[in-house]
Amino acid sequence: MRTDKAQLAKTYDPAITEEKWYRYWLEKGYFHARTDAPAEPFTIVIPPPNITGSLHMGHALNNTLQDILVRWKRMQGYNALWLPGTDHAGIATQNVIEQQLLKEGSNRYQYGRERFIQRVWQWREESGRAIIEQLKKLGSSCDWQRERFTMDEGLSRAVKEVFVRLYQEGLIYRDNYIINWCPRCQTALSDLEVEHEEIKGHLYYVRYFLVEGDGYLTVATTRPETILGDTAVAVNPNDSRYIPYLGKELYLPILNRKIPLIADEYVDIAFGTGVLKVTPAHDPNDFLMGLRHQLAQIKVIGEDGRMTAEAGKYAGMDRFQCRKALLGDLEQACYLEKKEDYSHSVGHCYRCKTIVEPNLSRQWFVRMEPLAKPAIQAVNEGRVRIIPTSWEKTYFEWMHNIRDWCISRQIWWGHRIPAWHCQACEAITVDREEPRACQQCGSPNLSQETDVLDTWFSSALWPFSTLGWPDKTRDLEVFYPTSVLVTGFDILFFWVARMIMMGLKFMGEVPFREVYIHALVRDAEGKKMSKSRGNVIDPLVMIERYGADAFRFTLAAFAVQGRDIFLSEERIQGYRNFANKVWNALRFALMNLTDLCGQIEELKLADQHHMETEDRWIISRLNRVIGQVNIALEEYKFNEAASNIYQFFWHELCDWYLELIKPRLRQSTPSKLVAQQVMAFVLDKSLRLLHPFMPFITEELWQQLSVAGEGIMVAPFPKTQEAWIAPQIEEEMSFLMEVIGAIRNIRGELNIPPGCKIEVVLDPKEPGELAIIERHQHHIVLLASVEKLKIGAWDSTAKKAVSALVYKTEIFVLPPTTIDWQSEGKRLSRELAKIEEELRLVEAKLSNESFRAKVPRAILEKNIQKEQALREKAENLRKSLEKMS
């Protein structure tokens, strides 16, 4: 694997590297978690992507975060398992195949159930695995040996087991109820699968004439076609306007059926005319009202979205066509009083966006309340922690108002409900295996339920079904409950809540200890509408263009708690540059380590006396950053972890440390060896810190460094060593950096080119500062491009100089050429004005009595010091200006 050290390319090329190392990790089996490992387990189950899907930004973020956590924990020595898999996605997948059939001029009914399902399986083998390959491109360290699919034999067994047990306990029942029906998908949907959207429609006012006399009542409706299914008209019993009419009958317009006027508290007196038409078969509220008043349920809209025979002359028409036709007829016959613009929210199928029809239908339901209770408790008691905690409120809100879950779907692709209908007595037999005879009458004449289960029914079992349940497996024993679930809030109810319920019910234990809810990436799919600027970003294109590492790092840097993400390609480019910076830092190091024999070793505290200030400084800083990164990851603050590493690596390690040691590396003294050792040590640790975020480049570079170990992904993650943290060294360095900064600042302002060396006089009025400056003269000379450095007092009568003040050290830069003293003077005046303004503010603060009385001592002292410093700076500037004129 090792290439010649000196031959590292000038820029990093991700394409080859990523391929190579992913294969290496797989070959080594690093992703596989063993059940006999003594280490504490750390488990994540993947939110299984749909087999119809291809990797979008949401997946990319979700899986990057999981991979960061898993790689980090694995390096920390945990027995880390990231269990991958895919979801059969019943309706979505069925739609894909049905589209194919349509193109072939066929449909699923012509095809037949058996053949259709075979075809789906075949398609799944061919195309349904694409997303797995895409996850690998991202660098996901999933245990592929444990990959699962919701339609696997084992998981199907779990589904049956759960169904049977819930049925036996009375938690699953079958009933005639009003449900959401998608006429295009030809199936029932759960409440959650309906997306509400505000639609600009109309409110139609329709007259219902009294059977006796010639009066009428006016009813307002948004769905006139349902008039055909009305079986009553209702008013509020307290509505004095209509009390005289109670008990009378009305003629249904057009059909002229007689229907009663009933009284029900549900009716809102203030809405419309206060008269409500009641259609029990096509409206959830009317359905309930129908039950209360024993009204007939007349279905006028069929499963295909067309009007039924009950609709009279409209039979066979599409529901919207019928609306149009009916409105025409109503108008013509003077039934239509008026029409108002009205916007209201209308349910759409979440899979195909067709307008959902509330329809009376016999379906299977799960009784949710008994399952929800313990799940509420689990979160309440902190057995499941939701992070950020603000989502708990949303969770509780939904769980407290939970309604029964319609789980049957009239499609073919999915887990077929394990229930058999007796042809003889109509009884239902529910069992794990196909029963031989009816439980009720013993008849062998049985036929299996044709409905399949909601896809989310099997997803709800995912954390334990994937580990082998209902068998008592070693996997379950070791890895359940899982450690954390990483997901977006859009499936908090769909999935997270249901997993908690099912986990508690069947495992007697929560499915995960923590749930980390991350942001949603806004995409072009219209999912999260925003200022749509056509900013669609395809993760695979980004990986192709900038490398998986840069892409992952960007996502991590953007992964802030509680906010949506809108990626910009420029930002990815920025982190690609960072990857290149890392590459070149190692390139530099490797070029300077060729003569270092043996492996890189841990540094010993006892050896620090051989070290220079910069050595101890960078090690101290490293240890602080290690702490920051570990804490940030502990708290799921991915952006903080990422930016801490970024800042450290680029702006401390590269900008300062590597620059500072360059002269030492060119000598051949013992000091060179120390610099080499420290540099290698710090780079080794930095690469490890970076590895969970940028797995590929860090592996590639780490393998070039001679560190003991097979690979960085199985190397221990750094831990802070407090003993290396040296505050006084850090202070010394930051003083030095400020002095250098001040000189550079003057150079920059005077536009003195780097090639042009300058003369500098430093006059430290404080012994400590003098000592530091004396000790680091060579650094100042190097990093500020100084020709001649003098330490001591400055003779103001001699040459003109530009000065600055850092703490108690006066800095004089003697420009080599004639410079524009006038514009320099202007600059200084501006500077002085700024400082005086600041000084004024601080003085005002300090002269405020109640401020001095109430402010904490530390803040007070800070302000006093600040005032002092500003005074000195201002004084210094005034002196400079004086000399200039």
Partner RNA sequence: AGGCGCGUAGCUCAGUGGGAGAGCGCUUCCUUGACACGGAAGAGGUCGGGGGUUCAAUCCCCCCCGUGCCUACCA
Backbone angles phi, psi at 264, to 5 degrees: -145, 135
Q: Please, which of residues 525-564 interact with RNA by CB under 7 A?
A: 528-531, 558, 560-564
Cβ-proximal residues to 700 (8 Å cutoff; 6+ apart), any chain: 17, 20, 21
- Cβ distance to RNA smaller for residue 186 or 643: 643
d(CA 516, CA 488): 8
Q: Please, which of residues 189-208 interact with RNA by CB under 7 A?
A: 191-192, 195-196, 203
Near RNA by CB under 7 A, which window of 215-223, 240-248, 475-483, 710-718? 215-223
Site for RNA (CB under 7 A): which residue of 127, 728, 751, 823? 751
820 near RNA (CB under 7 A): no
d(CA 403, CA 367): 8
Determine if the peptide bond prior to 418 is cis (ω within 30°): no
Site for RNA (CB under 7 A): which residue of 4, 7, 10, 334? 10
DSSP character at residue 800: -
The arrangement of strands across the sheet holding 428-430 comes to 428-430, 419-422, 446-448
- Cβ distance to RNA smaller for residue 645 or 801: 645
d(CA 434, CA 649): 63
Site for RNA (CB under 7 A): which residue of 319, 505, 518, 576? 576
- Cβ distance to RNA smaller for residue 424 or 782: 782
Q: What is the smallest separation between the CB atom of 573 and RNA, expressed in angstroms?
A: 6
Q: What is the smallest separation between the CB atom of 196 and RNA, expressed in angstroms?
A: 5
800 near RNA (CB under 7 A): no
Nearest 5°: the CA angle 417, 418, 420 is: 105
- Cβ distance to RNA smaller for residue 135 or 683: 683
588 near RNA (CB under 7 A): yes
Strand segments (E) across 396-541? 405-406, 408-409, 419-422, 428-430, 446-448, 452-453, 482-488, 512-518
Near RNA by CB under 7 A, which window of 158-166, 254-262, 326-334, 397-405? 397-405
Q: What is the smallest separation between the CB atom of 13 and RNA, expressed in angstroms?
A: 8
- Cβ distance to RNA smaller for residue 531 or 609: 531
Residue 574 CB coordination number (10 Å): 16
730 near RNA (CB under 7 A): no
12 near RNA (CB under 7 A): yes
- Cβ distance to RNA smaller for residue 490 or 774: 490
Map residues 675-714 to x or -, x wherever contact with RNA holds by CB under 7 A.
Answer: ----------------------------------------
Angstrom CA distances, 191 to 155, 348, 355, stand at 25, 11, 14
Query: Nearest-CA neighbor of 77 among 724, 713, 622, 709?
Result: 713
Query: Nearest-CA neighbor of 495 among 47, 884, 10?
Result: 47
The amino acid at 111:
Y
Determine if the peptide bond prior to 470 is cis (ω within 30°): yes
Query: Nearest-CA neighbor of 462 among 866, 88, 59?
Result: 88
Size of the site for RNA (CB under 7 A): 95
Total residue length of the chain: 885
- Cβ distance to RNA smaller for residue 320 or 442: 320
Q: Please, which of residues 80-119 interact with RNA by CB under 7 A?
A: none
Near RNA by CB under 7 A, which window of 7-15, 20-28, 619-627, 690-698? 7-15
Q: Please, which of residues 218-237 interact with RNA by CB under 7 A?
A: 219-223
Q: Are 345 and 199 in contact (CB under 8 A)?
A: yes
d(CA 786, CA 769): 19
Site for RNA (CB under 7 A): which residue of 311, 360, 486, 567? 567
DSSP character at residue 8: -
Map residues 124-163 to x or -, x wherever contact with RNA holds by CB under 7 A.
Answer: ----------------------------------------
Map residues 438-477 to x or -, x wherever contact with RNA holds by CB under 7 A.
Answer: ----------------------------------------
The amino acid at 213:
G
Near RNA by CB under 7 A, which window of 85-93, 293-301, 396-404, 426-434? 396-404
The amino acid at 202:
H
Three state DSSP letters for 132-175: HHHHHHHCCCCCHHHCEECCCHHHHHHHHHHHHHHHHCCCEEEE
d(CA 697, CA 12): 8
Q: What is the smallest separation between the CB atom of 806 and RNA, expressed in angstroms?
A: 13
Q: What is the smallest separation between the CB atom of 252 and RNA, expressed in angstroms?
A: 14
Strand segments (E) across 456-556? 482-488, 512-518
Calculated CA dihedral for residues 770, 772, 778, 779, nearest 10 degrees: -130
Residue 153 CB coordination number (10 Å): 7
Query: Nearest-CA neighbor of 672 among 743, 747, 595?
Result: 595
401 near RNA (CB under 7 A): yes
- Cβ distance to RNA smaller for residue 307 or 658: 658
Site for RNA (CB under 7 A): which residue of 847, 850, 882, 885? 850
Map residues 246-275 to x or -, x wherever contact with RNA holds by CB under 7 A.
Answer: --------------------xxxxxxx-x-
DSSP character at residue 247: T
Q: Please, which of residues 604-663 interact with RNA by CB under 7 A?
A: 639-640, 643, 650, 654-655, 658-659, 662
376 near RNA (CB under 7 A): no
Q: What is the smallest separation between the CB atom of 394 and RNA, expressed in angstroms?
A: 6
397 near RNA (CB under 7 A): yes
Angstrom CA distances, 213 to 245, 248, 256, 623, stand at 11, 10, 15, 92
Site for RNA (CB under 7 A): which residue of 379, 510, 585, 629? 585
584 near RNA (CB under 7 A): yes
- Cβ distance to RNA smaller for residue 367 or 421: 367
Q: What is the smallest separation between the CB atom of 797 and RNA, expressed in angstroms?
A: 29
Residue 777 CB coordination number (10 Å): 14
- Cβ distance to RNA smaller for residue 475 or 824: 824
- Cβ distance to RNA smaller for residue 147 or 838: 838
- Cβ distance to RNA smaller for residue 529 or 798: 529
Q: Are 804 and 744 in contact (CB under 8 A)?
A: no
- Cβ distance to RNA smaller for residue 162 or 565: 565
Backbone angles phi, psi at 589, to 5 degrees: -60, -45
856 near RNA (CB under 7 A): yes
d(CA 704, CA 833): 54
Near RNA by CB under 7 A, which window of 145-153, 427-435, 437-445, 844-852? 844-852
Query: What H or E segment, with its residue span, contains residue 572?
Result: helix 569-591
d(CA 610, CA 309): 97
Q: Please, which of residues 752-781 interact with RNA by CB under 7 A?
A: 753-755
Distance of CA 417 to the CA centre of its chain: 34
577 near RNA (CB under 7 A): yes
Site for RNA (CB under 7 A): which residue of 284, 312, 481, 711? 284
Site for RNA (CB under 7 A): which residue of 73, 124, 581, 624? 581
